[in-house]
Each structure stands twice: as C-alpha cells, then as structure tokens.
Amino acid sequence: MKRINKKVLKKTGLFLMAVFISFQLFVPAVFAQSVSAQSAILIEQHTGRVLYEKEAHKRLRIASITKIMTAILAIESGKMEDTVTVSNRAVGTEGSSLYLVPNEKIKLKDLVYGLMLRSGNDAAVAIAEYVGGSLDGFVYLMNQKAAEIGMKDTGFANPHGLDDHENHYSTAYDMAILMKYATANKTFQEISGTKIYRAPHPEEKWDRVWKNKNKLLTSLYPYCTGGKTGYTKRAKRTLVTTASKDGMDLIAVTLNDPDDWQDHISMYETGFDKFKLTKVVKKGKVSDIDDSYYKKKVYVKRDFIYPLTDDEKDSVKLEATLIKPNKKLWEDERNIPDIVGRLDIYQNDEGIGRLPLYYKKGLDIEEDVSFFERIKNLFLFILGVRSDG
C-alpha cells in the first residue's frame, strides 16, 4: 500500500482549526458523451465534488445567470418584505423586462421572483438600487460576496448580465460554486424552484403572472429543482440548473451552449446513474484502534457521505492521527482534551475530507458501530507527540 504523508498536530487547539471538508477535483472517466457547450461542469451540491467538467475554468460572458448573485444578495439583505419604489432608470433598462411602472411601489420579494422566473432586467436594477444604495454600491457587494465564497475567476460589473461592460465575466466552475452557496438558502431554493408566481399590478385589477423560463423545471426534466437561464448576443445561451434524484443533489452549468437543455439532461442522467452517495464513515465509535489507551474511547460525531462510482469505493483510504497520551496528566480525565485526533479521508490519494476524533470520558463506548467495513484493513493510526508539545 502506498504510504501517505503524515503530519502530527502538536497542539490540541490546532485540531479545531484543521476541521474542514476539501473539494475533490478528480474527475472519473464515466462521461462517454460530450456536451455542446464551450464550458460546462457538473458537481454534487453538498460536497462540491466535480463529477464532470469541460474547460470549467475558462473566463466567459455569463448573461443573466448573473442574477443568481443578485437574488441571493437581496435575500440575505433581510429586506424581502420591504417596499421598493421603482426608479425611471430601472424601468428604462433594456432587454427582458417585468414591465415595471415608473415610481410604482412593489415588494422586494416580488422583484426577486420576477428576476429569477422572468429574468427581468428592470427588476435587477431596482433590486440593486434598493439593496446596494446605488448600482455601483451593489456591484461592490456582488464582488465582495464572490471573493468571500471563493469565486476566483469572476468579475461582476452589473446586476443583470447585459453586454454593456467588458469586465463582466465568470466561469462554469465559479457559477457552480455560487449556485452551491445559494441553494443552501431555503428562500432561494423556493424561489428558484417556483414554476408560476403571481404579483399584484399597481395600475390594474389583475395580477402579474410570471412563468419560469427554465424549461427543465417546467416541462423537460422531472428531477429538475430549479435554476436560472441566460442569453445575450455575445454570451450566447447560458444555463445553471439543479436536480435531485434518489437523495443526491446535483448542479449543472453550461456557458455558450446551443443545446443546453439536452446537455443538462445528459449530464444529470449520467451523474445519477454512475455515482451513488456512499457512507464512507459512520457516526459513532472507531472500533479499529489497537492502542490500549484509546481503544473503545474514540468516536466521530457525524457521518461522512461522498459521491463515488462503484469502481472508486476501493480507492478510499482513512488515516487517523492521535495525540500521544500524557498518561500522568490524563489520570484526571478532566485534563483530557475533547478532541484527541483527526481522521483524514483520501480518494486516489487526494484529500476529500477530515473529521475530528473525540474522546469519550467516563465509561467506554459500547455501541458496536461499523467504520467503513470494506476498507478497515487500510486504516493507519499514528501516535503523535504529547499534547503539551
């Protein structure tokens, strides 16, 4: 077995800082078909694992999928029930429109629904002016959020994605990161997955009725749960969607794609067919520790679940690193740190996750909880230096 580099943590506090889940960028060759898009990506929503990619880090124009960022900033502002007065500037915005009326008063929530379902550019400007104080102020917030969530190859110059700025761009990978972030918000999930929405009209007795432009959601793909469409003459067709099947949630992004509906369906079908959510680590006792001090005392607090193909399951390795016990000091169990080590999870020798290892004070752990039985022989346990350095 290939030896894995080991790093022993010298201070207990470092264990808290080291708890993270890293994204796995290894892409297995399970996608026989190609996509028509200039750039594309498919990821698993919760782990961020890349299941398929094609020039996913190429900077391109993105058109109205920009509005995913506009929507999530509006939602996070906490002002969704506020009433917005629509400016003449917003009403005069070119392109797709909600046909807002100058100086009309409309809830921010209604603007966000119109933004996502009908791709209203007038709604984008009205939202930006209200949430950001001005268009420039809102663009600052957009780029600030992009940097915060790790969109390294993105520059926002407007809230709608029109071709009126040369420095407005992103990548399929970055847009997948944005959608992953946005879908963690329940309000965004609800709006993104709404097929039809009604909003009151300020000058008529009838309501405005907005049908979602995302045909995957409304008619073409029963597993689609949401998304955002986009098109400009320079960006061509862009599309971000989400889909769920058998408990697995996926995100697909295509940029400059003449056949985006079919490409998203093909990516989803292959992803759902080839990958399964696998419980790599089960919550509970770590039962494969031979060290007498730690035996029946070490446990993990949660499961670790990861999308894998059948062929990949045997490529997963687990490595536990434990503090060397200070038996004299630890005679009083109150001196034993809660976290006594870490469990690193590898797939094809690349890190895909890390869990803290906890010490059970008092009675031994009696639960006989299996710990990824198929690879238990691949465990490596390392006793490190003392916790006091």
48, 180 in Cβ contact below 8 A?
yes
Is 315 a known active-site residue?
no
Rounded distance between C-alpha atoms, residue 171 and residue 192, angstroms:
20
Cα 293–chain centre separation: 39
Determine the Cα–Cα distance for residues 321 and 341; give it in Å rounded to an integer.
Answer: 5
Concerning whether 67 is annotated as a catalytic residue, the answer is yes
Say which of 39, 96, 119, 170 is annotated catalytic.
119
Q: How many residues does the chain have?
A: 389
Q: Are strands 39-44 and 350-359 parallel, antiparallel or unpaired?
A: unpaired
Of 219, 203, 222, give the one whose Cα is nearest residue 211: 219
Q: Where are the beta strands (DSSP E) in 233-364?
A: 236-245, 248-255, 276-281, 284-285, 298-300, 304-308, 316-324, 339-347, 350-359
CA distance 115 to 71: 7
Quickly count helices (H) and strands (E) in the chain.
10, 17
Would you state the structure tokens that stand for residue 72, as one six-digit string? 């999530």
Is 97 a catalytic site residue? no
**What's the CA gap between 147 and 295, in Å, rounded?**
44
Q: 322-348 burial string, b = 16+ CB within 10 Å, else e?
A: bbebeeeebeeeeebbebbbbbbbbbe
The residue annotated as part of the active site, out of 39, 64, 192, 266, is 64
- Which one from 54, 67, 213, 236 is the annotated catalytic residue? 67
Instruction: Give the other-Cβ count within 10 Å of 299's Cβ.
Output: 18
Residue carrying the six token digits 């917003």: 90
* DSSP assignment letter at 226: E
Which positions are catalytic?
Answer: 64, 67, 119
